[in-house]
Amino acid sequence: MSGVIVDIGTGDGEFVYSVAKEYPDRFVIGIDPHHKGLEKTSARIYRKPAKGGVANALYVLGNVGALPEELNGIANQVFINFPWAGLLKGIVLAEDDTWNPIKRICKKGAFIDILFGYDKDYDENELERLNLPALSTPYIKNVMTPRLEKQGLKVLETRSVASKEIRDYPSSWAKKLGFGRNRKYYYLRLLVE
């Protein structure tokens, strides 16, 4: 295997499954606290390869605040796609309780790719509940970036992503969001220094 990819907040696990099929030389681990969403996809990975099985994928029940110690220092790349609730809050506010465990599972030089977004018009209750700021490019560059850099993460790329751009992203949630309301999303690529 040429490396390990970890998907935090994997949801139904489709992203992990797709990446594992596309990159058979990588070992792909999906982590989510909810087992119900993972049942169908986790059963599929154990099938024979001719029937869609993949030997290079694994699903782990857990959340970002309690990532298993067995993952320490193994990830070459971490994906966080469309985080919600506490994971979203920790990402956007650059909270230590969220970022320290993520950094702990990464090798030095690992990439962290985040695709996230919310909209004050559509997600008002959740924004209020989590006490999240309005999301914008200036917020990401002027508030999030300095906080992340203090955590030892280098921000390599920040860009906005339109709903129509995420439709082909290998995630069930992306497909739902891509054809829903016209929301604005953001992509961040970080380097663990």
Burial 35-73 (b: 16+ CB within 10 A, else e): eebbeebbebbeeeeeeeebebbbbeeebbeebeeebee
The predicted pLDDT at position 119 comes to 77
Identify whether the C-beta of residue 75 lies closer than 8 Å to the C-beta of residue 102: no
Round the average pLDDT of the chain to a whole number and report it: 90
The predicted pLDDT at position 182 comes to 66
Model confidence over 49-86: pLDDT tens digits? 999 999 999 999 999 999 999 999 999 999 999 998 99
For residue 37, the enclosing domain spans 3-192
The predicted pLDDT at position 146 comes to 97
Model confidence over 91-108: pLDDT tens digits? 999 999 999 999 999 999
Q: What is the pTM of this model?
A: 0.92
Question: For position 127, which CATH number holds?
Answer: 3.40.50.150
- Helix, coil or strand: residue 181: coil
Q: Pick the more confident residue, 2 or 12.
A: 12
Q: Pick the more confident residue, 183 or 79.
A: 79
Q: Pick the more confident residue, 26 or 37.
A: 26
Number of domains in the chain: 1
The predicted pLDDT at position 117 comes to 86
Check whether 172 has a pLDDT greater than 70: no
User: For the residues 14-41, what does the mean pLDDT come to?
Assistant: 94
The predicted pLDDT at position 174 comes to 59
Model confidence over 104-129: pLDDT tens digits? 999 999 999 999 988 777 777 777 88
CA–CA separation, 145 and 125 (whole Å): 26
Identify whether the C-beta of residue 15 lies closer than 8 Å to the C-beta of residue 171: yes
